[in-house]
Structure 1
Amino acid sequence: MFDTVLVANRGEIALRILRTLRRLGVRSVAVYADADQGARHAAEADVAVRLPGGYLDVDGVVAAALATGARAVHPGYGFLAENAAFARRCAEAGLVFAGPPPAAMEAMADKIRAKATVAGAGVPVVPGAAEPEDDLAAVAASVGYPVLIKPSAGGGGKGMLVVRSPEELPAALESARRTAVAAFGDGTLLLERFVSNPRHIEIQVMADAHGGVVHLGERECSLQRRHQKIIEEAPSPLLDDATRAAMGAAAVRAAAAVGYVGAGTVEFIVPGDEPGHPGYFIEMNTRLQVEHPVTELVTGLDLVELQLRVAAGEPLPFTQDEIRSRGHAIEARVYAEDPAHGFLPTGGRVLALTEPAGVRVDSGIQAGGVVGSDYDPMLSKVIAWGRDRPAALRRLDAALRATTVLGVTTNIAFLRALLADPAVAAGDLGTGLIDERLDTLLAAAYGDGAPPRDVRAAAALVFQDDLAEAAGDDPWDVPDGWRLGELAWTTWLLETRGNTTRVQVRGTPGHGAEVVLDDGEPAAEARLTRGDGEVLVTLDGVTRRYACASDGRAVWLGRDGHAWAVTPHVPGDPGDAAAGRTGDGVVRSPMPGTVLLVKVVPGERVTEGQPLMIVEAMKMEHTVTSPMDGVVADLPVRAGRPVDMDAVLAVVREEES
């Protein structure tokens, strides 16, 4: 085993690798970019080295490894994990790359070449063709719509688009090519038949340098949004033993066909309405996967340790017949995004954080840390194991209920609604399930968008108590509404997610107050008790506990996996930021990010709904459109420039003005 290993990554995966290194007694080296100054992975490693050029700086990473005496580099996933040139550069410098040989990476990185290679090994592939040899419009016509466009050089869902008619194809090809060039430096595309009612099943493989190749079972990853996985589980509720064995054997053949070494994942698309179908090969990820913990929980194996041992030249310590799977494991990805507003990326400072006990949590965040738009929006993973699938589902839901993130809007409430969906509970999954049931899921997670009565009452009491605390010791300054005869009411206009509600408070919250939540309702008795990072609110005899924090403008309240940012409403605040525009023609950024493309110029006539520009953040493009017919009066942004949330992107005026 190596005595020192450099981890060329950040966030939760860097911390997860450090955990194994610590258990093995291996000295660890972390690297960090300027945006990650003070990050957890840098603080928890034995040595941390600054990378002025960021995590994609090959020479910087190699120099850091050599300077700290590292003998091996573990790339995690993302960044340089599937970069064959980086693997070769490590070898040239005398470093061991804890991943597959460069030739295997290159064979599988090119989806066109990969399909041909595995097809030659007897692995079924999806019908389709690719550039430059084929005319994709002709290919689409021959395989039949709908079709799926993919960047040949990419992965992770970036640039993948479903096209349902010939009229949609030109624009889709343009968008996919632009994304492919930006993300992978290669605009080559391939086109495949879109499998109806698809389920995404992947097989974990592990290979050594002595010819040993095994699979560690499958993971079901069908619950996706924009081709990004949200919930993963092992084993799949779809497969029977015979199909599982056939797919495992196909994955082993695919890995052996390219001389694979290390941990990898062979991904299949399976027609959900064809029981027993062995699936079609779609790609191989030549790295550790985000969802590897569910495989670890059911097999009892540490995949990072296996990667390191194989990289050190050791043979696999088991044969295929010796691998056992026990129980069921399910993982949920916690993202910095707002499902209620089109899953737009969010950001901000983490004001408070509570993570659950009794389950596995792979997390990269900490209270006080800043979530920006530089990296992927995934914050953490919550993984639960149970003796069977229903038990694992229950434990995962309980763990998410006990998870609180204040200061950054997350998808936790949406995850709980998804897990509770009858189709998900029954194992009737599909890659299109979330889109098909989106309105139902959003309603279950967020209702009509307004916070519950108890949350509105809690927020008003916190604001009222803050006034009382600021008053000092002079009794005449206490804002309890004292008047001759009876106390007066204080009215709060509270805004949450664009919803403004009216709450009246009379009295001092810490000593007992009255609250009127809706016009016409009788006053409710209420009391507020403040603790360290939490408040207890008693409303009509029922006491609830909330995590509580403030960022100076909003009060954040959290319970049961939900979090609400409540601000005193100020007339004239920006309008619906999720739509990227306001009613006065001022177009604002719906998220922090980078202006990728500007499609108009000052003075240009535009129509309502016409695309003005594309803002990119956390691997996602968002098209900002004109709120009205008119003329572009102001355009204060340029392509390539960063923008903050709610920053003015453009101003559109009626033509006569």
Structure 2
Amino acid sequence: MWKVLVANRGEIAIRIFRSAIELGWQTVALYTNDDASHTAYADEVVLLDSPSQYMDPEHLVQIAHRTKCTHVHPGYGFLSEDPRLASLLSHTNITFVGPSEEGLKISSNKMLSREFAASLGLSIAPGGRVSSAADVRRFVGTMGSQPFPVIIKALDGGGGRGIRVVHGGPEIEGAFDRFQKMVEIAPSTLPEEVVRPLLAAALDMARHLRYSGLGTFEFLVNSQSHEWVFMEINPRIQVEHTITEEIMNLDLVRIQLLLSIPGTSLADVLPQHARTPLPPRGYAIQLRLIAEDPRQSFKLSTGHFTPSTFSWPSGRGVRVDTWLTTGPSNMEPLQEYLIGTDFDSLLAKLIVHGDTHEEARSRALRALGEVRIPPDLKTNVNMLAGVMKHPHWKHGKVHTTWLESHFEEVMDFGQKSALGHPYHSLSPTPLAFNLTQLSSFASSSQLEFANPQESTHVASPLAGKIVELHPALLAPAGSEHVVRRGETLAVVSVMKMENVISAPSSGKAKL
């Protein structure tokens, strides 16, 4: 029996638990006070003294030993790219679900991975490590007469934070602000002949690293000239793995867990991809719903909220990964959610899939229209709707700094989209009602059940609506009519099917 400690929290922990449960693995969750929604999906739970212990590899290894785990899965963020955790586990009988310690040392270091790519003959952009605007200016000074544009990429960004394009000297100072990616799409809208060499380069690097597990090899591509350079490796499951799963019809976490079992090969878990990978199907879009106010410089929005004030979209081609969940039905539901400052501000990932780019876009708008959140919680939901509604997105004309240059347009589109969407004709608060009767009759006294001991009673074999009666039963009160055996007394309609009630014997009907 395999048993995995998930050294993470939130929606990614839930994502891992679900795949592990389907494989029949035992699971262990970590949590802190006021952040426990993900623990509802685990077999065992361990309380941490503080959020900082998620970053303590020695403490995590101790917990894995104490709970008799066979595996530790780091999720993403926290220690997923830190060779220390993999190194500590390499000296135990506990498996790190991720690359080897040696492979992680290169792939997790952006500067070392650039050098590694260059050693294989891959193109890399000129670059260096900087820690201030002054460092950037010194670097620019070494690049000749046309040094711009320059891209500043956070060395330890994570979660899509920290890539900025600088087109001139005056922009350098502001380029150190961190930004969160909000929208991801798969597959790439680039032509297949442009993407093919990138895939070949990624596979070549993975083979030389003897890379095992999930990972993302990232490149920068000039959309006009189609020139490309290697940028970095993310040796972990990525936030945007969901859209890859949708277009490839794969459970990447399941594959990752199976590959961590000794003696298991990629051909064992992906036999249909062993020779020739299947092509992607359709398009998928991931929208990151974040607790921040775009109108207030993306200021974080916090507070305590009850589960009943949230409602998520569903339906064909819509998936929601969120930590704002009440958990399985056999668990006591949480009474309150705390959206605070200890962790990432991501509330949910809305993932939509469609056969075409336009179908995925329109489905994303529909899904955003079904999102219900507390009115005093500020989010980027209107901004996401504005991006989907904007003609530039529709026609594939967005770029790295597009959102900054079209902010007001996007917000206007988003506001109009939200107000004009048919779902917003619905009440923003839950509807309440009381069930007082199960019958459409005014009162139950009008219902009379047949007495099997009474020969004058004729029982209907089922409950329904009477749509036809014998003329004798429609005669004025006080009259008397003959009814012959076998004649139709009544026709009862149930679910559009008509059922005939026949007279069991001849007699007189007295009214």
TM over 0.5: yes
Aligned pairs for 1:527-542 within 5 A: none
Q: Which amino acid aligns with 2:266?
A: L
User: Is the aligned partner of 1:346 residue 2:291?
Assistant: no
For residues 16 and 139 of structure 2, the distance between their equivalents in structure 1, rounded to whole angstroms, comes to: 43
- Report SS of the residue matched to 1:43: helix
1:146 & 1:243 partners in 2: Cα distance? 22
Counterpart selection for 1:316 from 261, 266, 276: 266
Equivalent in 185, 207, 222 of residue 256 of structure 1: 207
- Describe the shift of the 1:22–1:278 C-alpha distance in structure 2 as closer, same or farther (beyond 3 A): farther
Q: Distance in 2 between matches of 1:280 and 1:35?
A: 44
Question: How many angstroms apart in 1 are the aligned matches of 2:239 and 2:357?
Answer: 20
**C-alpha displacement at 1:82, in angstroms?**
0.7
Unaligned runs of 5+ in 2: 268-272, 326-334, 432-511
- Residue 290 in 1 paired to residue 249 in 2? no
TM-score computed with the length of structure 1 as normaliser:
0.57
Residue equivalent to 2:140: 140
Q: Report the Cα offset of residue 110 of structure 1.
A: 2.4
Aligned to 2:483: none
- Cα deviation per residue 1:543-565 (whole Å; 9 max; x = unaligned)? 7422269xxxxxxxxxxxxxxxx
Could you tell me which amino acid in structure 2 is paired with residue 241 of structure 1? E
Distance 1:156 1:40 in 2: 21
Q: CA shift at 1:267, angstroms?
A: 1.0
- Are 1:412 and 2:381 an aligned pair? yes
Report if aligned partners of 2:18, 2:41 keep a CA contact under 8 Å in 1.
no
SS of the counterpart of 2:408? helix
Query: CA shift at 1:35, angstroms?
Result: 4.0
2:265 alignment partner AA: P
Deviation per residue, 1:329-369 (Å, 9 max, x gap)? 11111101111222111111234110111211111114721
Contact 1:51 1:61 (8 Å CA) reproduced: no
Counterpart-to-counterpart distance in 2, 1:425 and 1:253: 34
Q: Judging changes above 3 Å, is the alpha-carbon distance between structure 1 residues 227 and 249 closer, same or farther for their aligned structure 2 residues?
A: farther
Give the match for residue 76 of structure 2: 77
Residue 50 (structure 1) aligned to one of 39, 47, 50: 47
1:12-161 residue pairs with structure 2 within 5 A? 12-36=11-35, 39-53=36-50, 54-130=53-129, 137-143=137-143, 144-152=147-155, 154-156=157-159, 158=161, 160-161=163-164
| Pair 1:401 & 2:369 matched | yes
Q: Deviations over 1:23-45 (max 9, x none)?
A: 11111111112342xx2211221
- Describe the shift of the 1:29–1:419 C-alpha distance in structure 2 as closer, same or farther (beyond 3 A): same
In structure 2, the residue matched to 1:233 is 185
2:347 counterpart letter in structure 1: L
- Aligned pair 1:374/2:342, yes or no? yes
Q: Which whole-Å CA distance do the structure 2 matches of 1:161 and 1:544 have between them? A: 40
Shift of 1:429: 2.2
SS at match of 2:245: helix
Q: Quick check: which one's strand share is greater?
A: 1
Unpaired segments ≥5 residues, structure 1: 180-225, 454-535, 538-542, 550-657
Does the C-alpha gap of structure 1 residues 66 and 279 become closer, same or farther in structure 2, counting only changes over 3 Å? Answer: same
**Structure possessing the higher radius of gyration over alpha carbons:** 2
| Bigger helix share | 2
Are 1:51 and 1:60, in contact at CA under 8 Å, matched by a contact in 2?
no
Distance (whole Å) between structure 2 residues aligned to residue 294 and residue 452 of structure 1: 28
Q: Which moved more, 1:414-423 or 1:249-258?
A: 249-258
Mapped partners of 1:441, 1:33: distance in 2: 37
Give the superposition deviation at 1:452. Answer: 7.6
Deviation, 1:135, is 7.1
Is residue 5 of structure 2 the alignment partner of residue 6 of structure 1? yes
> What residue is the counterpart of 2:223 in the other structure?
272
- Give the secondary structure class of the aligned counterpart of 1:129: coil
For residues 210-259 of structure 1, the C-alpha deviation after alignment (integer angstroms, 9 at most, x for no partner) is xxxxxxxxxxxxxxxx542211111112x212112111111112222333
> Taking CA–CA contacts closer than 8 Å with sequence separation of 6 or more, which of the two structures ends up with the larger relative contact order?
2
Contact (CA 8 Å) 2:285, 2:353: kept in 1 or not?
A: yes
1:445 aligned to which of 410, 414, 437: 414
- Distance in 2 separating the partners of 1:296 and 1:445: 28
